[in-house]
Amino acid sequence: MVVLSPSPVSGPFPVSGPPAPIATSSTLVNQVSIKPRLGQWSKILIGGPNLGTDESNAMAILYPVPNGGQADAFTVQDQGGQNTIDLSQIYVYATIPGDTPMVEAFGYQTV
C-alpha cells in the first residue's frame, strides 16, 4: 500500500552558515515546501548547489513574516505522483545565522 508520508527531514531547518542542503545524502520525495519561520527576520534563499549568499542562482527568495499575515513559501511537487525531488540538491540560506526556516516534505512510502 502506497502512502504519502511526512519525510523525517521535515521540520525547522537551522541555517547557521553558508547555504546548506536539506538532506546530506540523496533523499527523494514527492513534495517539498520551504517557508520562513513565523516571527523570524531572515530572508530565505533557496537554490541548487550553486546558490550564493548574494542571491546569485537563487530559485526563490522568501521575505520574512515578522508580525502576522500569510508566510511566503516555495513549494514544488511532482505532479506525476513519483518521488523525484532530491532534497540533497536543494540548498537553503538564511540571511540571519541561526534562523530556522520550516521545511515540509512528503514522500511516497510503501507500508
* Residue numbers at the binding site for another protein (CB under 8 A): 1-6, 10-12, 30-31, 33, 35, 37-38, 65, 68-71, 77-81, 102-106, 108, 111
Q: How far is the CB of 64 from another protein (least distance, A)?
A: 12
Q: How far is the CB of 8 from another protein (least distance, A)?
A: 8
In the block, which residue shows the cell 536543494? 90
110: enclosing H helix or E strand: strand 102-110
Closest alpha carbon to 107 in 45, 26, 19, 38:
26
Q: How far is the CB of 108 from another protein (least distance, A)?
A: 7
